[in-house]
Amino acid sequence: MIRGEPVANDADRADLRRRQLGEVLNGIRGADSRRLLREVAELSRQGAALALDADLTARYGKRSGTAFAGIVAGPNKVMRRIARRDLISWDADVRGYRMDPADAEIILERWSAS
């Protein structure tokens, strides 16, 4: 490596992100977690958040928003173990969930192919 040169170029970082996220997605077993990930990914790709509201809790058959802490915790726990960061984040300004748009693209690509 040349002094001052970045450790990895953009292509290497993108490849690492894809591989890590692929491993994370393979480790997520909960149906609600997989469903929520897809919803958050679809909205995050458009720059929006998935609002934690009465409609969302009703669609998932939950009595309150606190149940979503567990639904989000599973994917984030796997992501932290593999990539040392969260996959889904809470946006207090909109009371909803977001993810990095690059992660959203990868999730939607992988799950549309399966």
Going from N- to C-terminal start, the domains of the chain cover: 30-113
d(CA 79, CA 81): 5
Q: Residue 7: which pLDDT band, with cuts at 50, 70 and 90? A: low
Question: Taking residues 70-75, what's their average pLDDT?
Answer: 93
d(CA 71, CA 107): 17
pTM of the predicted model as reported, rounded to 2 decimal places: 0.85
Q: Residue 91: which pLDDT band, with cuts at 50, 70 and 90? A: very high
| 99 Ramachandran zone, left/alpha/beta (phi>0; psi -120 to 50) | beta
Instruction: Render pLDDT for 15-68 as a digit per residue (tens, 0 to 9).
Output: 888 999 999 999 998 999 999 999 999 999 999 999 999 999 999 999 888 889
Tell me: pLDDT of 100 over 50: yes
